[in-house]
Amino acid sequence: MPVAGIDVGSQTTKVVILNDGQVVGQSVMVSAEEAETGARKALDEALQQAGLALSDLTTIVATGAGRKDVSFAQKQKTSLSCLAKGINRLLPAVRTLIDVGAESSTVIRINEKGGVDDSIGHDRCASGTGAFLESMAKLMQMPLPEMGQESLKAQRRAEVSSMCAIFAEQEVISHVHRVPPTPKADIIAGIHGSMAVRIVGLAKRIGVKPEIALTGGVARNVGFARVIEEELKQKVVVPDNPQIVAALGAARIAQEEGGKQ
């Protein structure tokens, strides 16, 4: 029976539709000001892809920061539980998940059943999130998608050691205006390194067990993914579509709990 998972984030809304356990539709859209409006648009797009109507869905589970605003969802679940269920579906051997989104970063220890054994999060400062990378891309006058590739050219990481986003920006500005200026690739590698050090520090507080996966929108940045591996000194797997993992987990929960009220 068809079910849907909706992940309403601060910047993007993701939807996954499962039918008999198979992904038949999915969408990623920029979040609307009204969470419910954005969720409905993203759901409609995924339904069209699946060749289904809203009335065909037996259960809808919402997750993410805006989950409580999706009135047409039958259930709401935390991002932690949905991320764990989602990565367990995609990569069953993963025991440590690092999720870096627009406004938060989270590390989750996961058991073999896709349950959460432990977790730790960071959302008080932008320096460990996608918002920090966006502000740095503007500072570097470079499109965000290009930053990851550019950082792969770095000879070394420039020093960007501040844990505060504002002070880190000042460090980057000093590199840009240095004579001679620090190479752009080295600066970006330093930016990625600053984020990675903070996030890996979180991970070590709850213990890192292989296999390790990286999800969230920031996981699409190949330079950041590589620096995370360097800091952990372990291989890190990035799913093909790292943004939809929580939505997939929500759909899986909808499938498992659909009949429970």
φ and ψ at residue 215, rounded to 5 degrees: -130, 180
CATH topology assigned to domain 92-238:
Nucleotidyltransferase; domain 5 (3.30.420)
* Percent of the chain topping pLDDT 70: 95
**Model's pTM, two decimal places?**
0.90
Close Cβ partners of 260 (under 8 Å, ≥ 6 residues apart): none
* pLDDT number for residue 162: 61
Amino acid symbol at 16: V
Q: How far apart are CA 96 and CA 89, in angstroms?
A: 14
Give all strands (DSSP E) within 54-188, no chain letters: 59-63, 75-76, 96-100, 105-110, 116-122
Torsion of CA 252, 257, 258, 261, to 10 degrees: -150
Q: How far apart are CA 60 and CA 77, in angstroms?
A: 11
Q: How far is CA 118 from CA 31, 32, 106, 202, 207, in A?
A: 29, 32, 11, 12, 9
* pLDDT number for residue 239: 96
Cis ω for the linkage preceding 180 (within 30 of 0): yes
* pLDDT number for residue 141: 86
* Percent of the chain topping pLDDT 90: 67
User: What are the structure tokens assigned to 30, written together?
Assistant: 């920029």
Amino acid symbol at 112: E
Size of the chain in residues: 261
pLDDT 10s digits, 53-105: 999 999 999 999 999 999 999 999 999 999 999 999 999 999 999 999 878 89
* pLDDT number for residue 224: 93
Q: What's the pLDDT band for 167 if we cut at 50, 70, 90?
A: confident
Q: How far apart are CA 129 and CA 230, in angstroms?
A: 18
DSSP designation for 10: S
* pLDDT number for residue 216: 94
Tell me the pLDDT of the chain averaged across its residues: 90
Q: Is the four-CA dihedral 142, 143, 146, 151 of positive or negative sign? A: positive
- Residue listed under structure tokens 């330093």: 190
Please identify, in words, the CATH class of the domain defined by 1-90+242-261. alpha beta
* pLDDT number for residue 159: 82
Region(s) of the chain under CATH 3.30.420.40: 1-90+242-261, 92-238
Q: What's the pLDDT band for 261 if we cut at 50, 70, 90?
A: very low
- Residue listed under structure tokens 């600066």: 187
* Range with the poorest average pLDDT among 21-25, 139-143, 164-168, 210-214: 164-168
